[in-house]
Amino acid sequence: MKLLTIKDVILRIVAIIVVAEFLVMLVLRNIPHQASTFTEAVLDAGALALLSTPAIYIWVIRPFVNARDAALTRIRHLASVDPLTQLANRRLLVQHLEKAMAGSARHKDHGAALLLDLDGFKAINDGHGHLAGDAVLVEVAARLQSVVRTDDIVGRLGGDEFVVVLHRLGADEAAARIKAMSVAEKLISFVGAKVYFEGESLHVGASVGVRLIGFEEQDAEVVIGDADAAMYQAKQKGGGCTVFFGD
């Protein structure tokens, strides 16, 4: 939706007033009356306001407000999503993670933050170019979203690092670990499938670090840092595996 410029607004208002005044004068000149000049001026002003106000609202105010609201919505969207993958960016991820932690503490229901880093991504960027790398990131983002539930959150921290925030894994910590591990294994499996770009078959793997969300008060950035530390342990083990923070 096009946002009206000041010039557009002025031109439209002037056009409406000119047309409305022309119609008013035309009516007044063709209807016999004995009104004084003052009375005629009052009638002219009232009729002009009556005709022009709805037109100004419909043709100027409403489109201006709608376009402005659409622009503000777009700006807010761009401020909270990764422009390449359209996943939540770090800012939005932290907000969702804070909500997940608050929910876990309130309902005594475990959650988890899974930090996933791609194995072999640098080789694709170096060997096939950044367009190929971007294509892999977009495809990986789609695959991650296809694995998790609709109320779970998938985001991109930057580079080839992604975060998945899982909700409602249950009150029992052991059962929650099993569920988080199951999701992590699915993520690794889905990411590991071939990606085709311009007729070439590209392949990346994934290393996953998991930080369970318990019932105590926690800091979102600390939780992400813990998951990141666990992910680096997975890398040190050769990649393609999952490590829980604290193990």
> Hunting for tokens 């996953």 — which residue is that?
208
Same domain, 169 and 201: yes
- Domain with 147, as residue range(s), is 90-244
Quick one: 123 and 154 in the same domain? Answer: yes
Supply the pLDDT for residue 73.
67
Task: State whether 46 and 113 are in the same domain.
Answer: no
Is residue 71 located within the same domain as residue 129? no
Place of tokens 């993520």: 187
Clarify whether residues 136 and 157 are in a common domain: yes
Following CA atoms 227, 229, 233, 239 in sequence, which dihedral angle do they give, to the nearest 10 degrees? 60
Q: Are residues 100 and 11 in the same domain?
A: no
pLDDT at 78 exceeding the cut of 70: no
Walk across the sheet containing 153-158 and list its strands.
153-158, 161-166, 111-119, 205-213, 242-244
Tell me how far apart the alpha carbons of residues 7 and 34 are, in angstroms, rounded to a whole number: 41
113 and 72 belong to one structural domain: no
Residue 85 lies in a domain: no
183 and 127 in one domain?
yes
Instruction: For residue 228, give the H/E element and its range.
Output: helix 220-236
Q: Is 154 exposed, middle or buried (0-12, 13-18, 19+ CB in 10 A)?
A: buried
CA 11 to chain centre: 36
In a domain, 140, yes or no: yes
Name the residues annotated as catalytic: 160
Q: Do 111 and 213 lie in a common domain?
A: yes
pLDDT tens readout for residues 111-165: 999 999 999 999 998 989 999 999 999 999 999 999 998 889 999 998 999 999 9
What is the spatial distance between Cα 54 and Cα 48, in angstroms, rounded to a whole number? 11
Q: For residue 225, what pLDDT is reported? A: 95
Same domain for 216 and 137, yes or no, is: yes
Tens of pLDDT, residue by residue over 216-226, are: 878 899 999 99
50 and 99 share one domain: no
What's the pTM? 0.73
Q: Give 53's Cβ-side CA count (13 Å radius).
A: 6
Number of domains forming the structure of the chain? 2
How does 42-74 read in b/e, with b if 16+ C-beta sit within 10 Å?
eeeeebbeebbeebbeebbeebbeeeeeeeeee
The answer to whether 206 and 242 have CB atoms below 8 angstroms apart is no
Residue 114 and residue 183 in contact, taking contact as beta carbons nearer than 8 Å: yes
> Do 98 and 69 belong together in one domain?
no
In the chain, DSSP finds a helix count (H) and a strand count (E) of 8, 7
| The pLDDT of residue 77 | 65
Nearest Cα residue to 223 out of 215, 235, 232, 212: 212
pLDDT of residue 64: 81
Mean pLDDT value across the chain = 89
